[in-house]
Amino acid sequence: MKNILLLGAGRSASSLIAYLLHHAPTENWHVKIGDIVVTHLHTLVDDLPFAEAIVFDVHNDAQRETEVKQADLVISLLPAIYHIEVARECLKQGRHLITASYVTPAFLELHAEAQQKNLTILMESGLDPGIDHMSAMAAIEHIRAKGGKLTSFKSYCGGLVAPESDTNPWNYKFTWNPRNVVLAGQGTAKYIKNGEYKYIPYHKLFTRTEEIYVEGYGQFEGYANRDSLSYREPYNLLDIPTMLRGTLRKAGYCAAWNVFVQLGLTDDSYSLEGSEHMSYRSYLEAFLPPVTNGQTIEQRLANYTGIDADGTIMQKLAWLDLFTEKPVELAGATPAQILEKILKEKWQLSPGDKDMIVMQHLFEYELAGEKHELTSSLVVKGDDEVHTAMAKTVGLPVAILAKLLLQGKITQHGVVIPIHPELYQPVLEELNAYGINFIERETVLA
């Protein structure tokens, strides 16, 4: 019997858990699920002899050592900052690890030791990063196999709300960690276009977007991720003239979000004095210039940020109750924490709501003297507010890779991402059975 230890049973884990429990009897697995709260898991595992749920504290050194030692494979869906503690324990105990999170410098320091111990630390194995790598590499290798030379690669992904559940003026609801949404894009975005390096500072990021069309779903807008350059080497695209990775939102979102950026409401670096006594209105007021000429707060906001006082952006802001006396009720809060609270009240998925994942790769390549464009698009909808598209697209690739690893079909050791055919080909093939597949459209450019 193989023992799997899954750490983290939050909103992105539902499809992963369902997959592991479904395959456990035939694969001869014992599945142990640990999290700080596991009451919601009892109905899933209490009657299964091959599964259990335990209260787990990643900071409890003794518990972490004991549980990792008993596992053959550890899967971590904990918040990303805790993965490194789990990884070091896995190395100490000689256990494999899979996560959906980005490789960091701290993880790269573990690469040589993991290789020496014939251990696999498989990362970036969810949606973005994860399915984006796998699907991109499959397309890139297909283009190369027929003799094509890539000249441009752009990749966008977004966790959005499905059209049938799109019921607010922002055309957005939380399908992922709200804090990460509030802090998204901070830093400087860097990419390459036509052989020239480009940089977008945070305060300009949401004003420099690209229109993206997805057949059957209309127009979206994409803004650049912080680092589009680091994947040139893993993808073997060091000489590509254009490469950009970005995030998708519905049209109109970025211009409205830019108001928060310009005001400083997404800043998480300091606390506001007396935040517990603030209202939403006084919170907003704290970031505006002093009152002049008896203007309303709405007029002052419009003048300060350059938006239309009667336009759609102002309507979006008003819908969030920003101009009301609703109390903040958060002591010692940062601007970003208050903004997160405001948005969580309005952007939660309601019962029965469906989310939607949209990913699109745009390739340009030269073949036999002709220029080609290949567009590869993925749209996945959730079933409801629990079994979300986000949970499917994050959890299923992790689960499939876990099965492959325990079956001995993954031979890569060290810190690995799924850019190798032995990893991405079987995952993409099995994802097709779950309706997670890309639609490709290719044209010859004039």
Q: Where are the domains of the chain?
A: 2-127+390-433, 131-253+350-389+437-445, 271-333
pTM score, two decimals? 0.92
Q: Are 155 and 134 in contact (CB under 8 A)?
A: no
Read off the pLDDT of residues 297-343 as tens digits, 9 standing for 90 and up: 999 999 999 999 999 999 999 999 999 999 999 999 999 999 999 99
What tens digit of pLDDT does each residue of 219-270 get?
Answer: 999 999 989 999 999 999 999 999 999 999 999 999 999 999 999 999 999 9
SS3 5: strand
User: Has residue 417 got a pLDDT over 70?
Assistant: yes
pLDDT of residue 175: 85
pLDDT in tens, 48-68: 999 999 999 999 999 999 999
Comparing CA positions, the residue from 359, 342, 8, 11 lying closest to residue 182 is 342
Backbone angles phi, psi at 52, to 5 degrees: -155, 160
DSSP letter, residue 444: E
Among 111, 55, 115, 106, which Cα is nearest to 80's? 106
**Contact yes or no for 174/348 (Cβ under 8 A):** yes
Q: Which of 133-137, 193-197, 275-279, 290-294 has the lowest mean pLDDT?
A: 290-294
Q: Are 261 and 206 in contact (CB under 8 A)?
A: yes
Q: May I ask the CATH architecture of the domain 131-253+350-389+437-445? A: 2-Layer Sandwich (3.30)
Annotated catalytic residues are 128
Q: How confident is the model at residue 446 (pLDDT cuts 50, 70, 90)?
A: low
Q: What is the CB neighbour count within 10 angstroms for residue 185?
A: 21
Q: What is the mean pLDDT of residues 104-123?
A: 96
Q: Report residue 118 as tokens.
A: 């014939």
Indicate the SS3 state at residue 375: strand
Give residue 397's pLDDT: 97
Do domains 2-127+390-433 and 131-253+350-389+437-445 share one topology? The answer is: no
Q: What is the mean pLDDT of residues 27-38?
A: 95
pLDDT above 90 coverage of the chain, percent: 90
Checking if the pLDDT of 183 tops 80, the result is: yes
| Model confidence band, residue 102 (pLDDT cutoffs 50, 70, 90) | very high
Q: Is 183 exposed, middle or buried (0-12, 13-18, 19+ CB in 10 A)?
A: middle
Strand locations in 14-148 (E): 29-35, 51-55, 73-76, 96-99, 120-122
**pLDDT exceeds 80 at position 292:** no
Largest CA distance in the chain: 76
Tell me the pLDDT band of 360, cut-offs 50, 70 and 90: very high
Estimate the crossing angle of helix 253-263 against helix 312-319, to 10 degrees.
70
Strands of 13-91 (E only): list them.
29-35, 51-55, 73-76
At the fourth CATH level, the homologous superfamily of domain 2-127+390-433 is NAD(P)-binding Rossmann-like Domain (3.40.50.720)
